Amino acid sequence: MSDMLDIRSAWLSHDELEQARERLPIVYVEAVPVRTDSWGRVTAVGLLLRAMPDGSISRALVSGRVLYGELIRDALLRHLEKDLGPVALPRLPVSPAPFTVAEYFPDPTVTGFHDPRQHAVSLCYLVPCDGDCSPSQDALDLTWVDPAEAASEAFQAEMTGGQGRIVRLALAHAGALD
Provide the pLDDT confidence category of residue 104 given band limits of 50, 70 and 90: very high
Domain map of the chain by residue range? 21-173
What CATH number labels 21-173? 3.90.79.10
Quick: pLDDT tens for 51-84. Answer: 877 778 899 999 999 999 999 999 999 999 999 9
Q: pTM value?
A: 0.87
Quick: pLDDT tens for 153-172. Answer: 998 899 999 999 999 999 99
Instruction: Evaluate whether 125 touches 98 at the Cβ level (below 8 Å).
Output: yes
Mean pLDDT value across residues 135-163: 91
Instruction: Evaluate whether 56 touches 67 at the Cβ level (below 8 Å).
Output: no
pLDDT at position 4: 53
Provide the pLDDT confidence category of residue 1 given band limits of 50, 70 and 90: very low
What average pLDDT does the structure give for the chain? 89
Residue 116 neighbours by CB distance under 10 Å: 12
- Cα 77-96-47 angle, rounded to 5 deg: 50
pLDDT at position 7: 52
